Structure 1
Amino acid sequence: MALLFALAAAPVAADDYGAMLGYLTQSRVDGSAFSGASGALALNVAAGDLNQQSNLRAIAIATRAIASTDVRQARRGDRTTSPDAASAVIAGRAFSGASGLAGINQASGSGNAAFNAVALALAQQGIRETDDDQALSAAFASAGQQHDFERGGATAGRRVASVDSTALQGFEGVLQLNQVAGSGNDTGNVLSMSIQSGP
């Protein structure tokens, strides 16, 4: 009986050992991280190789106001091995009860590009540099199409990107979230607003 148990357990042990030797990436925001925080919040967290992340904010308040952001993320000829397992998780009470303008970039893997961009302009009514069609608060953003990501290994594997139900609860304001698990992903969020003050 003991011999049968040992034989049955051997493949499991071998599989566990193989998994331990694999290339694993995990990024996790957990506990009470940023819980109750307020204001301009920016978080870039990455596990793996050759990941690019940015959070940009442009705010202009004046008689004549214009705000813009310009994001250009580029890579050329990168070569890396894709992870066997990649996990990006936001859990616990992270960001719960927080408020304001939050940008979160979370990546697990290789060769990912992510950005959050916000451009806000507040000008007196009737005195504006451009009209709405010309995008007073313009944001030009480009995360993808500028790089040649060369995968050095197999792309198959376990990929998990998740936000637990307890995280982000009660957040008030503007929340931009890019969350990826894998390789060669390009993601971005852009918010542009122009507001007139006065009657």
Structure 2
Amino acid sequence: MRALALIAMLSAMPPAAADELSSMLGYLTRSRIDGEALAGASGAIAVNVAAGDLNQQANARAIAIGTHALALTDVRQTRRHDIGSAHDSAIAVIAGDALAGGSGIASINQTSGTGNASFNAVAIALAQQGIREADDDSTLSAAFASAGQQHGFDQGDASAQRRVASVESTALQGFEGVLQLNQVAGVGNDTGNSVSMSIQAGP
């Protein structure tokens, strides 16, 4: 009875209003970092924000200091045989003055949707004798290869889906340091950032 009443109500509405109501009743995944969130923050900043189902996020940091220093990160995200439904709307937005004027190391994973994997990795080595390279190329390749290879997500009708990933011009302004951002809106995406730094200490 309720289904019949809803159909009758939709048929009596103008097309624009009916479309708006249909979108409200759909599967919506929206994430937003806005206002003055983390504005002026300093130091080690890690943010994981997810809207939806079966999403994976990770932030990894390694710092080594010594006569012979070596810093490595190893990030592996795996999943198998997941089953999920496609969304009607996936929106990920960073707006306002978010992180404006901040400094340090900021790693952000922002995801809206289903079955996405994202990671940020930072390796810093400060050696007193010589420069020890923290090479993460192989780690980066392994992380991408192991993320999201086996899943059964319903992609749905792509033409009927709304997917938006955006950073407004006022956000992140004036940030100083290392800034990593994975921003995803959709289904079954794999993204990653890897930064390696090696520094030789003075005498």
- The verdict on a shared fold, with TM-score over 0.5 as the criterion, is yes
Q: Secondary structure at the match of 2:184?
A: strand
Q: Offset of 1:16 from its aligned partner?
A: 2.1
Corresponding residue for 1:138? 135
Corresponding residue for 1:4? none
User: Which amino acid in the other structure matches residue 42 of structure 2?
Assistant: S
State which of 15, 32, 40 in structure 1 corresponds to 2:19: 15
Stretch of structure 1 that moved more, 159-168 or 12-21: 12-21
**Structure number having the greater helix percentage:** 2
**C-alpha separation in 2, matches of 1:153 and 1:55:** 27
Percent sequence identity over aligned pairs: 64
Q: Secondary structure at the match of 1:116?
A: strand
Is 1:78 aligned to residue 75 of structure 2? Answer: no
Given that 1:143 and 1:186 are in contact with CA atoms closer than 8 Å, whether structure 2 keeps it comes out as no
Corresponding residue for 1:133? none
Q: Secondary structure at the match of 1:36?
A: coil
Superposed CA offset, 1:89-135 (max 9, x none): 00000000000000000000000000000101011134x6x6xxxxx
Q: Offset of 1:143 from its aligned partner?
A: 3.8
User: Which amino acid in the other structure matches residue 111 of structure 1?
Assistant: G
**C-alpha separation in 2, matches of 1:151 and 1:20:** 22
**C-alpha separation in 1, matches of 2:157 and 2:48:** 24
Q: Offset of 1:10 from its aligned partner?
A: 2.8
Q: Secondary structure at the match of 2:24?
A: helix
Judging changes above 3 Å, is the alpha-carbon distance between structure 1 residues 177 and 155 closer, same or farther for their aligned structure 2 residues? farther
Number of aligned residue pairs: 186
**C-alpha separation in 1, matches of 2:74 and 2:20:** 46
Given that 1:69 and 1:138 are in contact with CA atoms closer than 8 Å, whether structure 2 keeps it comes out as no
Q: Offset of 1:8 from its aligned partner?
A: 8.7
**C-alpha separation in 2, matches of 1:9 and 1:49:** 32
Superposed CA offset, 1:67-106 (max 9, x none): 0000000010111011111000000000000000000000
Gaps of 5+ in 1: 1-6, 131-135
Corresponding residue for 2:5? none
**Normalized against structure 2, the TM-score is what?**
0.86
For the aligned residue pairs, the C-alpha RMSD in angstroms reads 1.7
**C-alpha separation in 2, matches of 1:20 and 1:8:** 17
**Normalized against structure 1, the TM-score is what?**
0.88
